[in-house]
Copies of this chain bind each other. A is one copy, B any other.
Amino acid sequence: MNQPRPRPATIRNVAALAGVSVGTASKALNSRGQLRQETRDRVLAAAEQLNFRPNEAARSLSSERTFTVGLISTDSIGRFSIPVLLGAEDALDAGTISVFLCDTRDDPIRERHYVETLLSRRVDGIIVTGRRSDPRPPLARDLPVPVVYALTPSRDPADCSVVADDDQAGFLAAEHLIATGRRAIAQITGPARFDAVVRREKGLNSALAKHGLELTGPVLYGEWSEAWGRRAAQNLLRSGVEFDGIYCASDMLARGAAEALLAAGRSVPGDVALVGTDNWDVMVEGRRPSLTTIDLSLHEVGRRAAQYLLAAIDGEPVPGGMETVPPQLIMGESTD
């Protein structure tokens, strides 16, 4: 219909023909951000008219890239965001992309400030992470760069979130305890308000039900500390309930529980098998017996989130919703 063009169309040509900015054209072509349907249609029509092809889009955009990615953590850079960060760096690196880390300390004002700073530095995209698996509000509406959530998902199902599989963590722990012959399995866990606590319990119960079993004793909710692990195990012992296995929703809880059991003359894993969660080396290897634990694959969570971000930066479509990364059972000496 048109004259053959001497060179392939660029996103600038598309934007000019549609009468919008390059940023808006990019959003429309990548199905990102909030645009009026009419605007989106006009850009797509312009792209079709110019025979604009996505891989050329990536090429034409690449000259505008800064090869810098922002990583916003609400976690004061803590134990959970570090493996996510390292996984993201592994995916982003190849010596070409730099990660700028912003620590918002759970403060919305700091977060807004950092988002603005990252945008003014023209980062190519942003990864958002935190310390909990409870969903959080989206970073901001209509950002000019792609955003991917890691570990802490966005409440907006249109956003791309990569998270740990807490249900599967509880399920895997119960399956392992049952496979090693345990039938009376108790649970020591964190505060009931945590999403991770609810989901790990759900997974645990679902594996027990699959084998016609029920949880032994009450669910022992408490703080995420060794002290609570100790007290909870002491409570279990005092209650007179018979048990031969405990699933602990963190390695700190498991270490405290192991200590209380050994102090009370119960052998681990002879009398009671223990499975922790997190695969935190300091807790897992700190004492004998070392702990069997569920590794939540946080490094892989970070790596996948970064891969999605890179794809989005290259103009590829990125799935909305939550993608879960399977956890792994790490054998220690607290089960047999």
Contacts and interface: CB of A to CB of B under 8 A. Distances in A.
Contact of A77 (B77, B98, B114): B77
A329 B192 CA distance: 37
A220 interface: no
A225 B252 CA distance: 17
A100 interface: yes
Contacts of A113: 95, 98
Contact of A286 (B102, B109, B121, B226): B226
A259 interface: yes
A256 B86 CA distance: 29
A230 B287 CA distance: 9
A23 to B, nearest CB: 20
B285 A282 contact: no
Interface string A280-296: 00100111000000000
A157 to B, nearest CB: 31
B121 A95 contact: no
A145 B225 CA distance: 44
Contacts of A230: 287
Contact of A95 (B76, B109, B252, B285): B109
A89 B105 CA distance: 11
A43 B110 CA distance: 40
A101 interface: yes
A161 B143 CA distance: 40
A82 interface: yes
A55 interface: no
Contact of A98 (B68, B82, B109, B117): B117
Contact of A114 (B98, B226, B282): B98
Nearest to A226: B286
Given A76-B86, A121-B68, A226 B287 contact: yes
B89 A85 contact: no
A99 interface: yes
A142 to B, nearest CB: 22
Contacts of A109: 95
Interface in A241-263: 252, 255-256, 259
Contacts of A285: 225-227
By Cβ-Cβ distance, the 10 closest A-B pairs, closest first, are A101-B101, A100-B100, A98-B117, A226-B286, A77-B82, A77-B77, A121-B121, A95-B113, A98-B114, A226-B287
Given A99-B102, A252-B286, 13 more contacts: A68-B117, A68-B121, A77-B101, A95-B113, A98-B102, A99-B101, A99-B103, A100-B100, A100-B101, A101-B101, A121-B121, A256-B287, A282-B282
16 contacts: A68-B117, A76-B82, A76-B86, A77-B82, A77-B86, A78-B82, A85-B103, A89-B103, A95-B110, A98-B113, A98-B114, A101-B101, A101-B103, A226-B285, A226-B287, A255-B286
